[in-house]
Every structure is written in structure tokens, then in C-alpha cells.
Amino acid sequence: MRGINGKYIVKRFISALFTLWIALTVNFLLPRVMGGNPADYLASQSAMGSLEYAEIIKQQFGLDKSIPEQYLIYLKELLHGNLGISFTTFPVPVVKIITQAMPWTLLIVLISTIISFAIAWLLGTLAALKKGSFFDTATVGVSFYIQSTPYFWIGMLIVMGLGYYAGWFPMGHAIPPGIDINAIPWFQKVIFIGYHAFLPILSLAIVNLAGRMIMMRSNVLQVLSEDYITLAQAKGLRRSRILSKYALRNALLPSFTGFMLSMGQAVSGAIATEMIFSYPGIGLTIMNAILSQDYPVIQGCFAIIAVSVVTMNFIADLIYPLIDPRVSLT
């Protein structure tokens, strides 16, 4: 194994920083390019007739300054972890709103990603090994069909079936309304949270399962057609040994990067699911912010999503050459 050298890490790091910079610049420019003069707009939108409040907002964003100056201030504040102050819940800092929402999103995204990957590995491998069988055709067909359904629709059907009709699970929220989560013993907390998170996790897992299963199946098929598998067969190795020692290991490797990448993308993918389950994560926060035109919160959420996606990508870049020496370090 070649491992990774310093040059590779620095290169990847610079590329990650560059991507992040582009994303944050887009985030800065969007409201300024689109809505005419953002200063007046933001101030009049949220000042509600109060001159004093309008002044605070203008100062907070430095909206009286020129665009390049505003840009420098924006980057400086971001570096200090300051995302501004929410309009609708003035004067709560955006950072506080996001740090309250983030754990919920991470919880459902993380668990659903792990579950869907585990099942996808299993189903994809089985389908590839029995290529052409009824099981293979059926799972691939169903997966493609699920891939073409809107993912929020699956969520709606699950709420309706398991939440409303069967009544097995709560139809929304992360904890029962009216209960102080800090006042109850920890095991009850875990039960409450798990009970409420079940349906969101299930719907995210089903949707993600389809695409990953198809990917895993084609990975296995690809590896099975490689020369070293033919060689192993020619050497007379047992099928189970060929599979465990050569084929499956190499088929699993590429999907590790997929795992890291989809973790990042899943945060934005969870938006509609959180809306359906009124689950208080980043997605619900961003949607509520759009409804109430709370621009600092919208931008803050986007910045957080961008940072998490870029970080996941960077980690994937670092891990990949470690687990798969065939990848070129460029």
C-alpha cells in the first residue's frame, strides 16, 4: 500500500477550501444579485416600522458599505463563526438556531445512511451473484421504480400507512409535544427519540436504498469480470473463497467513498422528509425561514450544508487511497 503523502493532502485540502470559497461566495452574491438593493429590502422587510431596528439590521450587515467591503466583512464574520441574527426570532443568533437543529438532522441522516448501505450491500451482492434470476430482475426493477418516485411521496405514504392508519408511530415531531426532554431519565429519552425518529429514518432509508443497491450490484458485476477472478477460478479456488477474499472486498471499496459523499448530500436531501414529519432539523429550519423570509437563517443553513458537504468530501478523499491502493494520487 502506497499510503498518502503530504503533497496529496495539501492538494486535496486546497481544492476543498476552493470549493468552499465558491459556495460561500455564491451564498453571499445570490441575495445581492437578485433582489435589487438588498439593504432597503432587508431593512423594510423586517423592520416592521421600527427605525431603530432597521438601523440595527443595516449595521449588523454593514449594508451601508460597498459590496467588496461587505464581502470582506461577511468572510471575516464567517471565520469567527458568526452567521448573523435571525429576523423572526430577533435577537437569537443564527448559529444558535442551527446548532439546535443540526443534531436532529445528523441523527436521522446518519442512521438512515448506515442502514440503507448495509441492506444495499447485501441485496446488491445477492442480485449480482444471481444475475438474471427472478430475484435479480425483481430487485433491480423495483429499485429503478423507487428511484423515479419523488422521495417526499414515499414519506407521505409512510406517514399515512404506519402513522395514521396503523397508528404504530407518531406522525411528526422529534419528541412528544409538551414534554421537557431534559427532565426525564435518559433511557426514556432514548425511547422517545427513537420512537419518533423511526418513520423519518425508514423513509429516507427506503429512498436511498434503491440507488445504492443498483450501484453495489454493478460494482460486484464489474469485479467479477476482472482478470484476477478468472485467474483465481483457474487456480481452482473454492467459490466462497474467491468471493470473500477477492470479489466482495474489492466491490465494497468504491462504495465507501459513496458513503461519505452521500452523507453530505443527504443533509440537503432530508429537507422534504423533515417537512413531512415536522422533524425539527436543518431542513425544517430552512423551510420555515423561507416562509418567513428570514434571510440570515436561509444563508446560514446553506453555509452549514456547504461546509458539511465539503468536509465529508475531503475526508472521503483522504480515506479512499488508504482503503483502495489502486486509486491514483492526483
Q: Could you give the string, one character per residue 212-251, with x where binding to other proteins holds by CB under 8 A and - elsewhere? A: ------x--xx--x--------------------------
Which of 11, 31, 71, 315 is the binder for other proteins (CB under 8 A)?
31
In terms of Cα–Cα distance, which of 215, 309, 219 is closest to 262?
309
Of 34-63, which residues contact other proteins (CB under 8 A)? 34-35
Measured between alpha carbons, how far apart are the two ends of the chain, in Å?
16
Asked if residue 151 binds other proteins (CB under 8 A), the reply is yes
Of 247-276, which residues contact other proteins (CB under 8 A)? 264-265, 267-269, 271-272, 275-276
In terms of Cα–Cα distance, which of 262, 278, 275, 143 is closest to 207?
143
DSSP-assigned states of every residue in 54-74: HHHHHHHHTTTS-HHHHHHHH
Which residues have CB under 8 Å from 137's CB, separation 6+? none
Which of 208, 243, 313, 321 is the binder for other proteins (CB under 8 A)?
313
Kindly report whether the peptide bond that precedes residue 321 is cis, defined as omega within 30 degrees of 0: no
Which of 45, 60, 89, 147 is the binder for other proteins (CB under 8 A)?
147
Which of 8, 19, 135, 189 is the binder for other proteins (CB under 8 A)?
19
In terms of Cα–Cα distance, which of 287, 308, 284, 319 is closest to 110?
308
Asked if residue 157 binds other proteins (CB under 8 A), the reply is yes
Give the interface size with other proteins as a residue count (CB under 8 A). 55
Residue span binding other proteins (CB under 8 A) among the ranges 57-65, 97-105, 149-157, 234-242? 149-157
Residue 78, amino acid: L
Which of 57, 125, 306, 321 is the binder for other proteins (CB under 8 A)?
306
- Alpha-carbon gap, residue 164 to 32, rounded angstroms: 44
Query: Would you give the DSSP letter of residue 87?
Result: S
Residue span binding other proteins (CB under 8 A) among the ranges 27-35, 75-83, 87-95, 121-129? 27-35
Asked if residue 115 binds other proteins (CB under 8 A), the reply is no
Closest contact distance (angstroms) between CB of 95 and other proteins is 18
Which CB atom, from 30 or from 75, has the smaller least distance to other proteins?
Answer: 30
Residue span binding other proteins (CB under 8 A) among the ranges 68-76, 159-167, 173-181, 234-242? 159-167
Number of CB atoms found within 10 A of residue 3's CB: 9
Contact (Cβ atoms closer than 8 angstroms) between residue 205 and residue 116: yes
